[in-house]
A and B are shown apart, each in its own frame.
Chain A
Amino acid sequence: MEDVFNYAPAIALFPLVAFVVALTFGKYMPKKGALAGIIATGGSLALSVLMLVAVASGEVYHETLYQWAIGDAASEIGADGIEFTFGILIDPLAALMLVIVSLIAFLVHIFSLGYMNAEGETGLPRYYASLGLFTFSMLAFVYADNLLMAFMFFELVGLCSYLLIGFWFRTRSAPSAAKKAFLVTRFGDYFFLLGVVAIAATFGTVAFAGDNSFIAAAESAIDNGDTLFGFGAETWVTITALLVLGGVIGKSAQFPLHTWLPDAMEGPTTVSALIHAATMVAAGVYLVARMFGYYALSPTALAIIAFVGGFTALFAATMGVVKDDIKQVLAYSTISQYGYMMLGLGVGGYVAGVFHLMNHAFFKALLFLGAGAVIVLMHHEQDMWKMGGLKDKAPITYYTFLAGALALAGIIPFSGFWSKDEILYDALIIGLEEPIILAAYAMALVAVFFTGFYTFRMVFLTFHGEPRSEAAEDPHDIGWSIKAPLVVLGVLALVAGIANLAPVAKLAQIDITFLEHWLDGEYGAVEGLTYSAYGELLAFETAYIGGEQLTVLIAAGVSLLLAFSGAGLAWKLYNVPEPVAHKERLGSARQTLESNYYQDEYQVWLAEGFTQPLARAADRFDQTVIDGVVNSVSTASLFSSSRLKRIQTGLVTNYAALLVAGFIGLLLVLGYVGGWFL
């Protein structure tokens, strides 16, 4: 089995080849590059599954492929030299993520046949080329074996999402949304870069795994009580970890850098599916999971992650309640769901966070592709108030979408329930000891109610009741290429929870937590990158309400109750033949919610009210002081030049006099210094 790892580079290279092929020959190919992309991502999927099987058989892969720079500067902890390399690390986490990413990318490519090709879009070679590059960047990011390589591909992922969000660049809104996505995530990545530099300068290594990883170096620095850059080792680790977290918050659209994500809906819906489920947004949370050992060293950083996650989960869910555009609702649900993952990771629930990442990838891809199908059905109408009654006209779309919705809302037994419940359970047992985690837990718990509500509001408005427009009465046909991915993902949304039925395992005392074993290295594992290794680093205490089993029951029961009541409220309000808007009942809250808590406004105000005057002041300084100095230097030079010219009088007697005078002057200086006259 070991030999299969030799093919690991090909996982990422296939889509790269597809990128080149689609870009150069796409115009002349029958499906404008789609086939190249499908074959490439299919190949990546097959290889990824092989990697998964190899890891399951107990192998792992950690290899440096190319070393592109060696420095000899000593780092802060005293290690000599630093190497920058490209390498591949395939451990259980990476293998799992490779399969998820290549599967979603593969399905999105197939779906695009129906969504883009069949709808007669132009610029398809560019579309497929960008998709290929996007997939390449994400896959390479996933199995990067060091932080710098991860950063490079993280940036490339950002670039590709810019290209794809702005795919319809002739509209007004798409280029602006693309720019916004690029700039907002870049703001976070700026801190990420600082973090990479700080980690490299501190530990002299950027490797994720192995004896000389920065995680191991940080651990020993903390054990030795070193002082790093004037801080205690733990404080410094917290600072660098939070710097890297800046990139995570930007990419995973966590508060306050979440504002780009709803606007990113300007891209094709297929791109949204890819961005939300498997690539761009997932990259942030994946990075935290990838270097979880580092975060585990810093309880402060973890608590911040947990709190930001819990807050974002609630914050985004409330905004999703009042949206009328089907894709907007999904966008806010994404922000909210990634908040859950952050909460899970922040409370040390490494398995729970990764579990939800996986489940979310399936059901969010499903929901977006389902929304894409609805948009095709509705002749490119996205306003839910103009839909209705699609249930009977497009049963496959309805039932698969419903599966995704149930998973999103966290209704038993769909996948979303299991992972969300595990996150909430992990948060609860730690929250009982740590008040700040308890607050994060409470917010996430309330968010469950809102999730249930907006999810089913969306389902009922779209599929139930009477058709509310001509398009809804006479929907467009959809082909197999749209239906097939929906069915695959619909099944996964239903059954993926089996991977880790933790509550059942705890209640029934049976050993069915497969994902936990997987991530704990019962199969193949890289030393130090396992759940139990992380657990040893964690400094959290846990407590239970009257025993473990009772706590499990209470946590699951409360979250289910809230999910059902949210869904039930939506059912009562919107599952009627002629639903009406109930926003007026929200009163003054409505305006705040519809304006997304004025997040965009305050960020625009920061740009216009603060950055712009600062830039103007700098410009004025440049124009007056700098240019003034430069101009006056040149004026002074030219003036002294015109004076100096006059020494040359044209009279040779003057020259002789000046020559002798100059010589005597030189003589006096040298004679004085040399003491010739004494």
Chain B
Amino acid sequence: MELFELPAWTALAPALLLALTAMALFIIDSIAPDSRNSGLLAGTTAAGSIVSLGVAVWYLLAGVGTPTVDGGRGVIDVLGDQFVVDQLALFFMIIVAVVTALVAVASYDYMEDHTYQAEYYSLVLLAATGMSFMAAANSLVTIFIALELASLPSYALVSILKDNRGSVEGGLKYFLIGALSSAIFVYGISLVYGATGHLQLTNIAEVVEAGDADPYGGLLGLGILMLIGGFAFKTASVPFHFWAPEAYEGAPAPIAAFLSSASKAAGFVIAFRVFTEAFPVGETASAIGVDWTLAFIILAIVTMTLGNFAAATQNNVKRMLAYSSIGHAGYALIGLAGISAGGGELVMGAAMMHLFVYGFMNTGAFLFVALAEYWGVGRTFEDYNGLGRRAPVACFALAIFMFSLAGIPPLGGFWSKYFLFTGALEAGLLVVAAALVVNSALSLYYYTRLVKAVWIEEPVTERDALSQPIGLYAAIVVAAVMTLALLPLFGPVADTAVDAATAMLA
């Protein structure tokens, strides 16, 4: 017996804490508008996200979302099922909070001389709040609102370097594509509402299961497809990926890390929730005449292929990482492509694991780029030549990130990719599994190219000793340690992910 029971709305605490921290930053900023006390601001942001992380982990360990028959506390509904806190939600809240904390710590150095620091940090927190709410949103309305809450600060964050053309241009492109995608998404919501008469996910599922939506099969199908468009935008999947290379390249590197890790994960969590909860595979197929997994199969193959192939010959490191991030979205899409009537928890769990590992290795990789930008060494592979001799610790961490991204055993990235592979095989998606292998092989080429540049190549020009910014270093080292620590920790992570996926598909 617990000593006291918290009220149900506190289940959303991980998201609410992020929002509260953002408010706190506003207060700090209104007290001292011209303050450049980046220690206080970054510290508050990091502290808020770490508390959010702690609460989410605590909830998960305390059994929130675990079925009551297994001794857990069951799924907690908030606001009449508009939000739901289960294992899936907590899992992704953890990813968002972790990435936010890493980004905040790294920004301490990166944004040191920036004018609008309080705005920067509060925007990061507001976007994180949106992503955290995305993890828990359980109705198409709350999903859309949370998604916009995550998106709007992101546009501003990408273009926050106002004197930098690339930053402003990237932000504008991101915003324009985002507006188009939101339009498609919200239109999709209206079509689904038209076909089923509901916005809440479980209610939609009831209508679909009862067969009441069958007369509007085409309408529902188009609506579902448009929803997929909205998710594809958020996860930077083809063909809604066009914003990603330029936005990532133009944005401050910590923001690129934030968007490519946390924002992508949040995009996936709504996709997982909507498609497993609202549109059960079998019943939906009888309504719209086709398995929606087909769309994800196509998207997965095209996205991973385009992402990896375009990454292969980039000269700009950040742009290479941007395309690699698209490629990884393609890997994670396998988690949706492999779902079938009565199966798919393994492959969906594998996708969740991959996003979790990705939260560390990809954030770490972008933060290394942030470090390079901080040093001012340049943007291309050649500019990175010989960094290993000047900054061995950071470059060792980079090697870990790259090999993990490429999926080299025994690093975390290998295991999640391996589970995706076996999951795809189990689901009978031979083509997808083959594409995964081919693309992973290709990705090894450009990831090792970066490792080779920093460790083996001779520097193009002699450079002086490099400084060691404490925040960036700390964030990179933590990300590297976590990428390695996932070896022993992979069991619990995998169990949680598969449990969450099983609960969703049950």
Binding site for B on A (CB under 8 A): 634, 637-638, 640-642, 644-645, 647-648, 650, 652, 655-656, 658-663, 665-667, 669-671, 673-677
Contacts and interface: CB of A to CB of B under 8 A. Distances in A.
Contacts of B309: 637, 640-641, 644
A641 B449 CA distance: 15
Given A648-B310, A663-B184, A674 B173 contact: no
Interface string B164-189: 00000000110011001100100000
B313 A641 contact: yes
B221 A671 contact: yes
Interface stretch (B203-211, B286-294, B337-345, B415-423): B286-294
Contact of A641 (B239, B245, B312): B312
B58 interface: no
Contacts of A634: 445
Contacts of A656: 176-177, 180
B218 interface: yes
Given A655-B173, A655-B177, A670 B295 contact: yes
B242 A670 contact: no
Interface in B303-336: 306, 309-314
A666 B222 CA distance: 10
B242 A667 contact: no
A479 B312 CA distance: 77
Lowest 10 A-B CB distances belong to which pairs?
A662-B239, A674-B290, A674-B289, A655-B242, A676-B218, A641-B312, A641-B313, A673-B290, A641-B309, A675-B289
6 contacts: A637-B309, A648-B310, A667-B222, A670-B225, A673-B290, A675-B290
* Chain B interface category by residue count: 35 or more
Contacts of A675: 289-290
A674 B314 contact: no
Interface of B: 172-173, 176-177, 180-181, 184, 217-218, 221-222, 225, 228-229, 238-240, 242-243, 245-246, 288-290, 294-295, 298-299, 306, 309-314, 442, 445
Nearest to B229: A663
Interface-central residue, A637, A667, A671, A674, by most chain B CB under 10 Å: A674
For the complex, would chain B's binding face be called helix, strand, loop or mixed by DSSP majority?
helix
Contact of A659 (B218, B225, B240, B298): B240
A516 B115 CA distance: 104
Contact of B288 (A642, A655, A659, A674): A674
Contacts of B295: 666, 670
A675 B176 CA distance: 33
Given A641-B310, A655-B173, A671-B218, 4 more contacts: A645-B310, A659-B239, A676-B218, A676-B222
A640 B221 CA distance: 34
A670 B239 contact: no
A235 to B, nearest CB: 41
Contacts of B177: 652, 655-656, 659
Contacts of A645: 310, 313-314
B242 A659 contact: yes
Given A673-B294, A676-B218, A638 B313 contact: yes
A16 B311 CA distance: 58
Contacts of B298: 666, 669
A122 to B, nearest CB: 44
A671 B289 CA distance: 9
A676 B299 CA distance: 20
A90 to B, nearest CB: 46
Nearest to B305: A644
B312 A659 contact: no
B294 A670 contact: yes
A663 B239 contact: yes
A457 to B, nearest CB: 66
Contacts of B299: 666
A18 B269 CA distance: 66
Given A670-B295, A674-B288, A674-B290, A638 B312 contact: yes
Contact of B221 (A637, A641, A665, A674): A674
A408 B290 CA distance: 89
Contacts of A638: 312-313
A677 B221 CA distance: 11
A629 to B, nearest CB: 13
A479 B243 CA distance: 93
Given A641-B310, A666-B295, A676-B288, A659 B445 contact: no
Contacts of A648: 242, 245-246, 310
B433 to A, nearest CB: 18
Contacts of B221: 670-671, 674, 676
A661 B229 CA distance: 12
Contacts of B176: 652, 656
Contact of B238 (A642, A652, A662): A662
Contacts of B243: 655
Contacts of B222: 667, 671, 676
A652 B175 CA distance: 10
Contacts of A661: 239
A675 B309 CA distance: 33
B432 to A, nearest CB: 16
Contacts of A640: 309
Nearest to B241: A659
Given A645-B313, A663-B184, A658 B239 contact: yes
Contacts of A671: 218, 221-222
B310 A644 contact: yes
B238 A644 contact: no
A661 B311 CA distance: 23
Contacts of A669: 294, 298
Contacts of A667: 222, 225
A534 B212 CA distance: 83
A325 to B, nearest CB: 56
A637 B312 CA distance: 8
